[in-house]
Amino acid sequence: MSALHRLFGRDDRFFQLLEQSAAEAKNGASHLARVVAQIGHGSIDEAMGDLAQSRRKHKRISQETTEELCNKFATPLEREDIETLSSALYKISKNVEKIGERLTISPPGVNMESIGKQISLLEQSTSIVTKMVEALRKNRQGEQVKDDYERLQGLEGEADRVMNDLLRDIYRGESDARMVVFWKDIYELLEKGIDRCRDVGNVVFHIVLKNS
């Protein structure tokens, strides 16, 4: 039996909470994609409501994780690692909800096609985050986690290139100042969301390294 398995076998509750956190981060990205798809094509109230509800649910999970840390003597991971991972996951949901809120005040007639690639990268990143968090409980080989981590870094690098291309287009185009300010804000928030996913990957990867 590996040291990782012995360590992780003590209490499943923290793994459940962390997996639920990752799932809500992924759900938030999916709800955001729905918001984007519906802007200019109908009401976004339901999609925004689902996005807000997902973030509130994630907050409750994060709070429960903190309470469990206060109440449990033995934990399957180092306490600071659980707390750091829980906080990093919740930051994804907070950022995603902020993106949705900013999109609701978009200037009339905006075309959302320009952020399609960024939205796709965000959804892919949250899917990998979910897989990496689930790998902790399943005691997968560190090599698999390393592969997922490298994929996540690759998506983050691609997101950087996409944002630079988008910024180049608005800076060199003929958009009025209002549109430039709006899109710059949205592009940077989406980039930050993908960075948040990378941060989670960093935490998971280092947990696995420490306990392998």
For residue 132, give both structure tokens.
């990496």
3-211: CATH number: 1.20.58.220
Of 5-14, 126-135, 196-205, the least confident:
5-14
Q: Where are the domains of the chain?
A: 3-211
Predicted TM-score (pTM) of this structure: 0.90
Q: What is the identity of the amino acid at 70?
A: C
Q: Is it the case that residue 5 has pLDDT exceeding 50? A: no
Looking at residue 10, the DSSP 8-state letter turns out to be S
What does the pLDDT look like over 154-178, one tens digit per residue? 999 999 999 999 999 998 877 788 8
Q: Which of 148, 152, 21 is nearest to 89 (CA)?
A: 21
Q: What span, in angstroms and rounded, lies between the C-alpha atoms of 208 and 140?
A: 10
What does the pLDDT look like over 170-212, one tens digit per residue? 988 777 888 899 999 999 999 999 999 999 999 999 999 888 7
pLDDT at 141: 62
Q: What span, in angstroms and rounded, lies between the C-alpha atoms of 144 and 131?
A: 10
Q: What span, in angstroms and rounded, lies between the C-alpha atoms of 133 and 15?
A: 8
Q: Is it the case that residue 139 has pLDDT exceeding 80? A: no
Identify which of 41-45, 107-111, 205-209 has the greatest average pLDDT: 205-209
Contact 77, 8 (CB under 8 A): yes
Confidence of residue 7 (pLDDT cuts 50, 70, 90): very low
Q: What span, in angstroms and rounded, lies between the C-alpha atoms of 184 and 74?
A: 46
For residue 26, give both structure tokens.
């992924």
Q: Which of 208, 189, 198 is nearest to 81 (CA)?
A: 208
Q: What angle do CA 47, 167, 196 make, to 5 degrees?
A: 55
For residue 200, give both structure tokens.
């989670």
pLDDT at 137: 85
pLDDT at 140: 56
Secondary structure class of 44 (helix, strand, coil): coil
Q: Is it the case that residue 2 has pLDDT exceeding 60? A: no
For residue 184, give both structure tokens.
């710059």
- DSSP letters, 53-120, are HHHHHHHHHHHHHHHHHHH-S--SS-HHHHHHHHHHHHHHHHHHHHHHHHHTTPPTT--GGGGHHHHH
